[in-house]
Structure 1
Amino acid sequence: MTEAPSGNAPENVLEVRDLKVAYGRRRRRVEVVKGVSFTIAPGETLGLVGESGSGKTTIGRALLGLAPVAGGSVSFRGSDITHLPRSRRRLLARDIQVVFQDPYSSLNPSMTIEDILVEPLATAGVTEGRTRVRQLLEQVGLPEDAGSRYPNEFSGGQRQRIAIARALALRPGLIVCDEPTSALDLTTQAKVLSLLHRIQQETGAAYLFISHDLGVVREVSDRIAVLHDGGIVEMGGSEQVSLRPTHPYTRRLQLATPVPDPDVQARRRQRRRDLLEAGA
């Protein structure tokens, strides 16, 4: 039985408790996620930031049922989804969707955009899929005739808009955004981030936004969790964590965030050297 939320606070969309993910067996067993806990409320964006190999993408895969959970639990809207069988996991796809890093490899190059967007609708038994496709294309700022074209006819930013449209097709409550802008140039990145924000305002979907870039995460997140070596080392409000970090690892991420001012960059490089020499 799920405990009712206290007071007027909304029930969390997602609750992750002491999550552990491990690969291998016995002596060769390697734990890559080490007891991670966090929640995401309706309409909230939690940024999960860390360098390559920190375990952040593995956490996203575990939520989607794509990585083995060795311990802990994952609950979606009060229901335990930690070890769902494949048949029930497919049904859950209506409510939990993902936008991957590479917008080209995640789209079938032999299918038209309309067929790509209709596919999840047809699988879920949604009628009038073609009408919904036109709505989705409009929602992500693409022309109606985009549906008759193929992925290779679009730029990287446009393909990511298509991937976002596909994730929105079934009106999910949670979207896992796994490095959705890291393959894009800065101008296109800003447009996609703006689109994600607008869609969240319109739909109320919650986001888990995974990135290695603390600056990007700050722009889109309400709260930030900093992941290092498989564990969360710092968590708090976006401004607090990104501008006034308390953990040495978060401070190193902050100093690695690109800025256009060369004088600021020089000061940051010196600060990084000072931290390394101090063993922080």
Structure 2
Amino acid sequence: MPEVTNPDLSPSEEPILRIEHLVVRYGSRGRGGTTVIDDVSFDLSAGETLSLVGESGSGKTTIGRAILGLAPVTEGRVTFRGETVSNISRARRRRIAHDIQVVFQDPYSSLNPSMTVESILVEPLLAAGETGGLARVHRLLDAVGLPSDSGRRYPREFSGGQRQRIAIARALALDPAVIICDEPTSALDVTTQARVLTLLQDLQRERGVAYLFISHDLGVVHEVSDRIAVLNHGGIVEIGKAHDVATNPQHPYTRKLQMAAPVADPQRQRERRAKRIALAASTAPAPGAPRRDS
């Protein structure tokens, strides 16, 4: 099994989030059903960005959902600051919502179209019993680079990149320690992607928030990650420092992801395509292998 701990973590410093031998299985009870996540372990340190990378069906989104309590944990456990947060009651889940938030892939579908931006950002504050809502909304809009009068407008009045900034502002409303970023740039054009990624990095430096970044694109996460974990068929096949995994991958599946990233040179692109076809054949699942969720 690949090394799962943070190599830059001092012995006296505990990870803020830890996933231990996580198994997510749907269907029949016991050992039957479909295993989506199979014995996954890793940790996340305060202020760190760990990216989970894999193609559609690898299980990366299911891991994020299990951490958030949106998917059942069949075996293993998720701990936050040493406290088990997997399969906990709804009341306990609400109490840790301050600390673990999420930014979803599609900013439009994750924002209520009938609510103004101000209402969207005030809602989590009211649910948590926080005060000073409007003043905090203005500070959040400023933090994500939107004008203060944006609060009076509706999500449909913004571009895709602006809507994702609103979603990030909502995730930051309760000053969380961890934000799960589930493909937050995949629905955006390349230029807007870069702006959103820069914003996330700036906010991390200012606030010390840790990111669990979920993506299918090894090239996108290379520059924003401290470490990268590569997921294939529900299990981690490689994990390590971002530069090492992205530029010198050790596992055939990671090399396949690396070569899937487009390059400007047509000749290199053709060479990569030939290698990718060969690698795809060597890493294909066995006939009859169960299909896994993303």
Q: TM-score interval w.r.t. the shorter chain?
A: over 0.9
User: Equivalent residue of 2:214, what SS?
Assistant: strand
Q: Is 1:116–2:124 an aligned residue pair?
A: no
The 1:144–1:234 alpha-carbon spacing in structure 2 relative to 1, beyond 3 Å, is same
2:19, 2:38 → 1: CA distance?
A: 12
1:92 to 87, 96, 103: 96
- Residue 225 of structure 1 corresponds to 229
Residue 60, structure 1, aligned to residue 64, structure 2:
yes
Distance in 1 of aligned mates of 2:233 and 2:170: 32
- TM-score, normalising length: structure 1: 0.95
How far is 1:262 from its partner?
2.3
CA deviations over 1:50-84 (Å, ceiling 9, x no partner): 01011000000000000010000100011111121
Q: Which residue of 1 aligns with 2:190?
A: 186
1:202–1:86 CA distance, 2 compared to 1 (3 A): same
Q: Which residue of 1 aligns with 2:21?
A: 18
Q: Alignment partner of 1:84: what SS? A: coil
Q: For structure 1, which segment, 97-106 or 265-274, has the greater mean C-alpha deviation from structure 2 after superposition?
A: 265-274
Q: Taking structure 1 as reference, are residues 56 and 277 closer, same or farther at Cα in structure 2, changes over 3 Å only?
A: closer
Instruction: Give the Å deviation of 1:277.
Output: 6.1
TM-score (structure 2 length as normaliser): 0.90
Answer yes or no: is the 8 Å Cα contact 2:253–2:279 preserved in 1: no
- Residue equivalent to 1:133: 137
Higher alpha-carbon deviation: 40-49 or 18-27: 18-27
Distance 1:182 1:9 in 2: 37
**Shift of the alpha carbon at 1:263?**
2.8
Q: Hey, what does 1:3 align to over in structure 2?
A: none
Instruction: Assess, with a 3 A threshold, how the Cα gap between structure 1 residues 279 and 183 changes in structure 2: closer, same or farther.
Output: closer
2:107 to 85, 103, 125: 103
Tell me whether 1:210 sits opposite 2:207 in the alignment: no
In the TM superposition, 1:20-59 aligns within 5 A as 20-26=23-29, 29-59=33-63
Q: Does 1:69 align with 2:73?
A: yes
CA distance in 2, matches of 1:147, 1:276: 48
Q: Equivalent residues in 2 for 1:251-262 (5 A)?
A: 251-262=255-266
Question: What SS does structure 1 have at the residue aligned with 2:19?
Answer: strand
State the Cα distance separating 1:134 from its structure 2 match.
0.3
Runs of 4+ aligned structure 1 residues displaced above 4 Å come to 276-280
Report if aligned partners of 2:24, 2:74 keep a CA contact under 8 Å in 1: yes
Query: Contact 1:49 / 1:56 at 8 angstroms: preserved in 2?
Result: yes
Counterpart residue identity of residue 210, structure 1 = I
Aligned length: 275
Structure 1 distance, partners of 2:148, 2:265, is 41
One-letter amino acid of the counterpart of residue 179, structure 2: I
Gaps in structure 1 of 5+ consecutive residues: 1-5
Q: CA deviation at 1:219?
A: 1.8
SS in structure 2 opposite 1:11?
coil
Distance 1:143 1:264 in 2: 44
Deviation at 1:254, TM superposition (A): 0.5
| Matched-pair contact (CA < 8 Å) for 2:79–2:85 | yes
Larger CA deviation: 23-32 vs 216-225: 23-32
State the shift of 1:274 in Å.
3.9
Q: Is the 8 A contact 1:97 1:174 kept in 2?
A: yes
CA–CA distance in structure 2, aligned partners of residues 175 and 262 of structure 1: 38
Question: Contact 2:253–2:283 (CA<8 Å) still a contact in 1?
Answer: no
**Deviations, residues 78-115 of structure 1 (Å, cap 9, x unaligned):** 11111210011011110000000000000000000000
Given the superposition, is the C-alpha separation of residues 154 and 276 from structure 1 closer, same or farther in structure 2, using an over 3 Å criterion? closer
1:90 and 1:45 map into 2 onto residues whose CA distance is 24
Q: Is the 8 A contact 1:10 1:42 kept in 2?
A: no
- C-alpha change, 1:157 and 1:237, in structure 2 (3 Å) is same
- CA shift for structure 1 position 261: 2.9
Q: Which amino acid aligns with 1:209?
A: F
